Structure 1
Amino acid sequence: MSNISSNTKSSIFCKIESEEDLLHVIRKHLHAEASLKSEQTENSYVIKVENLNTIISFHISIRKIGGDKISKRLLGAYNYAKKIESSAEGNKDFILERISRCNASIGVIFEPEDIENFGHLNYLKMVSEEFNGLIFNGSDFIDSAGDLVLSKDGEFTVIYE
């Protein structure tokens, strides 16, 4: 998961029916010493997993109607990926097809910044796998295995045909 380990903020683009689905998945994989809090905010549903001095926050936003804020965010990600020049056209097609099936964006924020040492990446991978999601770290698209599907510069570490 080294492609995302340097970022404390990432998004998972996925298809999810309700916020409760994510809450259920996190509860199922919650470490014994961790606590779980959830709340509805004005813009999203937030789930926080806390363990000692570490926190991972999931900010879930699900598309309600076409043209809403989440639709625009997904369209922005789609257009961003479409403009990337790369020899891995299959990877670009994979990203575009995956985003076109998404209805949600889960913003993930890690605290503290030294995320590799606190198991935060395991939660990111688990959520991405569970909902067949695509991780976006602000510049690169990463699959749930942690492989670089396509960077902003057209680089990749995995091939999708």
Structure 2
Amino acid sequence: MTLGRIVVSVLCIFGLGLGECFAFELKSKGEIVWVADGDSFRFRPDNALMWVKLKSFAKTRDGKTTHSLRVDDRFHLKDMSFLVRVGNVGTAESGTTQGRLAEQFARSVLEGAEGTLYCWDIGYYGRPICSFWTDNWEYGQALIEKGYSDYETRYGEHPRFHKKYLKASGRR
């Protein structure tokens, strides 16, 4: 756990004024069962407990927002999969040329891929914010290196791969 996550966790434990305390880290192996676009996909973990915990975090976050996070749409009980938003990247929308290229890239490397998913937050639209990697590569880093996305830090640095993402973006 990074120092920032530890500080947030301690502040949450002692109730020191943080409105939303969602400092968590969950990791599981599994497979990608569907690609939505360049930075979103559906993941089925090998560990059902991850699915249960993430859905619980999303329900808790949903209860603290003014808009619906559509949690039941994001988490499918039938196949124990959930919709993921890749953290710290932002590909163009699918309706644009760049967005279609990012989506094609995502489909070529992600569909049916098995690997590890690491999640640390629930996003504005109710999707877990996560990173995905295999033994050979990490997806967000690949998006940045290939020019499909910038390294997005407006909501904070990547909790695990900050230095790799900086290097991939040429910012060191």
Give the TM-score of the pair, scaled to structure 2. 0.29
More contact order relative to length (CA 8 Å, sep ≥ 6): 1
Give the TM-score of the pair, scaled to structure 1. 0.30
